[in-house]
Structure 1
Amino acid sequence: MAKVSFNNKNNQFFNTLKTNVDHYFSSNHLKKTGNFSLYAKTLVLVPGAILIYLSLLFFPMAAGVQILLSATLGAVLASIGFNVMHDACHGSYSSKKWVNEALGLSLNALGGNAFIWKFKHNILHHTYTNVDGMDDDIHKSPLMRQCRSQKWVPAHRFQHIYVVLMYAVSSFAWVFAMDFNKYFKQRIIDTPLQKMTWRDHFVFWLSKVLYAVFYIVIPVSIVGWGPWAIGFAVMHMVMGLTLALVFQLAHVVEHAEFEKISSEHTVIENAWAEHQVRTTANFAPGNILVNWYVGGLNYQVEHHLFPKISHVHYPALSKIVQKTCEEYNLPYNTYPTMTASMISHFKMMRSLGQQP
């Protein structure tokens, strides 16, 4: 396994930034974890998803309404992932560890696995962001070429078109293939997975079985194979497209930088914090609706610098981060709207699809 390290001899940028952020919380007498606005979102999203699920099973309705509700369920489940699961798995939802652990299992209810995701996301992605060969989020080659160090194949000429379909089926592949692939191989790319306890193995299999029961067996027994298949496909397509796009807009855009493992021990030129701001981008920071729905993931720069701080604080922290970046002559990548970020992403994918 290759080893990657950062040139952390000069941490002045992050030291200054951390001091300023800590001062913000202490002077305003705030906790770094979630607050009422996060809890209120949870009380809207989780019961909302349950209500839609039960309505699809037990209330007669026209086929068009069923499809619309299935799409809505996919969108709500994605938002639960952004808001509840994401903060909980980072340990920032609550100051109580058991609350974070319990709500982190909401990922298992969505079909994933919290144990595998925490290692893949919290450790690999947040440490080695946009490092080809370490960051699993950009490890989709040869299906997609997401940075210039990855191998090019002729099909990539059209990837800016077909990636939409790939994003749409990504959650389905995640639930039914990728989790199992990582589980049985016990590694992510070339990095060995953390050792799983008997409880981790038990939760993995129990949650996968319960997912099949609640999302397949029960619906099929009540509404039949045909309506279930259509609704299940629509739900996953909306959820997958939403999840994939939001995470892609943070890192695979024109101004984001990438690194490549070049030897058995690769030393990245920049310190960790500087690497985060160079490889990450914000989008639609002024859009209240987007911020509410995506759980502050439109403030990705702030999230990558302070992943253990709840997303409810990111709009306020963004002013501190941007000012500190300017002081140290570092980029602060941000797109004013979600549309601008999406245009940049697809332009990037099209550019990466051209033969080197």
Structure 2
Amino acid sequence: MKSKAKFPCLTGNSFYAEVRRRVNKDFKENNRSTNANKLMWFKACFFLTVFLVLYFVILLLPISTALLLGLTVLLGATCAFIGFNICHDAIHGSFSNSKRINSFFSFLFHMVGANPYVWNITHNVVHHTYTNIPGHDEDIEVAPGLIRICNEDELKPHQRFQQWYAFPLYSLASLSWVFRKDYKKFFQKSVGACQHTHPKIEYFNLFFYKFLYYFVFIGLPILVMPLSWWQVAIGFVVLHMAQGLTMGLVFQLAHVVEGTTFPVTNADGNMEEAWAEHQMRTTANFATECRISAFFLGGLNRQIEHHLFPKICHIHYGRIAGIVKQTALDFNLPYHENATFLLALRSHYRILKKMGRPELAD
């Protein structure tokens, strides 16, 4: 088993200590909670209501095939938005200061096809600790052998075309998650360099809630809807293509764009920079001034703030962003951001092209 990468200990007036001091001071002086506010609760109710309405309209009402497919695409995107806006914060423990409320909203991850326990290990523990470190952060291994995003990955001939086929592959990410990823991560010996012993109840939860999800989204539609099984199967795939593309693009644009790095350990197996400085070099924001992005993406377009303060609800990232950016400037650290979603998408495209054909790089 590979050893865990270690970050150097903080000494003196570090960037992380200072940015935490400034952010905590802001919340204290303005007497604000770091958890959900009224807008956050509205978002949670909004996305859950849209999900339920779409699901039961698709399941019960006699509508045309074209409209059925359109609503299925919307349902897939809504599932991603529930993950972004509700479950993500809850699993981080930032939605509420109540463990019971966080547990309830974490549980909703099952209804979009994902296992919250596995996500906590792969994302909260591994990805947030070892962001963009090859061999440690498995979140950057989107399609090993097919997509190359860093110099440590082996270059293969077909990857010269990856800037074209990567995006269709992203749309399959959710389908893979539902049928493969959770099982694989749960039963492999380690995730990155982290080993885990799973509580017995999690074995039951994995299989029971996966079966329940398959019944709700495959079995029940076959029983209730006036469609053949293969038509339901097509609808299920369409739903997950919409969900997968939405998730895949958002996560990629936060870590795999121009400017972000993929640091490796030194000869002693250690990282050269402290953890917070590492986050500033491996993470990027996009479309931060777009209110639509802020509403739908659950703060994932402000990935820098999220990685530094995962215990703060994403609804507050906009107000602390100026503090984080100014502190980074004071410590001569980068603050990567693309002004719009389209600019971030173009940057990601160029990274894919460069990694697939490094001989064309400037």
TM > 0.5 fold call: yes
Counterpart among 38, 54, 58 of residue 56 in structure 1: 58
State the match for 1:7 in structure 2.
8
CA contact (8 A) 1:67 1:230 kept: no
State the match for 1:148 in structure 2.
151
Measured after TM superposition, the shift of residue 310 of structure 1 is: 0.4
Give the SS at the match of 2:6. Answer: strand
Hey, what's the Cα distance between the residues in 2 that align with 1:329 and 1:234? 46
Letter in 1 for 2:148: R
State the match for 2:231 in structure 1.
227
Residue 178 (1) aligns with residue 188 (2): no
Q: 1:208 to 1:35 in 2, by over 3 A?
A: same
What aligned pairs does 1:135-214 form with structure 2 within 5 A after superposition? 135-139=137-141, 140-192=143-195, 194-214=196-216
CA contact (8 A) 1:141 1:151 kept: no
Measured after TM superposition, the shift of residue 308 of structure 1 is: 0.6
Measured after TM superposition, the shift of residue 179 of structure 1 is: 1.1
Stretches of structure 2 that go unaligned for 5 or more consecutive residues are none
CA contact (8 A) 2:160 2:357 kept: yes
Q: Percent identity?
A: 37
What aligned pairs does 1:80-99 form with structure 2 within 5 A after superposition? 80-99=82-101
CA contact (8 A) 2:289 2:339 kept: yes
Letter in 1 for 2:7: F
State the match for 1:240 in structure 2.
244
Letter in 2 for 1:248: Q
CA contact (8 A) 1:248 1:345 kept: yes
Measured after TM superposition, the shift of residue 227 of structure 1 is: 3.0
CA contact (8 A) 2:126 2:192 kept: no
Which piece of structure 1 moves more, 43-52 or 307-316? 43-52
Hey, what's the Cα distance between the residues in 2 that align with 1:272 and 1:315? 22
Hey, what's the Cα distance between the residues in 2 that align with 1:234 and 1:31? 40
Letter in 1 for 2:39: S
CA contact (8 A) 1:133 1:261 kept: no
CA contact (8 A) 1:79 1:294 kept: yes
State the match for 1:121 in structure 2.
123
Residue 306 (1) aligns with residue 309 (2): yes
Give the SS at the match of 2:254. Answer: helix
TM-score scaled to structure 2, two decimals? Answer: 0.95
Hey, what's the Cα distance between the residues in 2 that align with 1:131 and 1:321? 23
RMSD: 1.3
Describe the superposition over 1:185-240 as per-residue Cα deviations: whole angstroms up to 9, x where unpaired: 24324532x22112211111111110111011001112232431222111110100
CA contact (8 A) 2:266 2:272 kept: no
State the match for 1:347 in structure 2.
350
Measured after TM superposition, the shift of residue 262 of structure 1 is: 5.5
Hey, what's the Cα distance between the residues in 1 that align with 2:164 and 2:358? 16
Letter in 1 for 2:4: K
Moved over 6 A (4+): none
Which piece of structure 1 moves more, 3-12 or 53-62? 3-12
CA contact (8 A) 1:258 1:279 kept: yes
State the match for 2:134 in structure 1.
132
Letter in 1 for 2:155: W
Hey, what's the Cα distance between the residues in 2 that align with 1:9 and 1:308? 20
Hey, what's the Cα distance between the residues in 2 that align with 1:267 and 1:177? 32
Describe the superposition over 1:272-309 as per-residue Cα deviations: whole angstroms up to 9, x where unpaired: 10000110000001000011000111110000000110
Describe the superposition over 1:152-175 as per-residue Cα deviations: whole angstroms up to 9, x where unpaired: 111111111111111011100011
Residue 285 (1) aligns with residue 288 (2): yes
Measured after TM superposition, the shift of residue 143 of structure 1 is: 1.7
Give the SS at the match of 2:269. Answer: strand
Hey, what's the Cα distance between the residues in 1 that align with 2:8 and 2:191? 24
Q: 1:127 to 1:189 in 2, by over 3 A?
A: closer
TM-score scaled to structure 1, two decimals? Answer: 0.97
Measured after TM superposition, the shift of residue 24 of structure 1 is: 0.6
Hey, what's the Cα distance between the residues in 1 that align with 2:29 and 2:10? 30
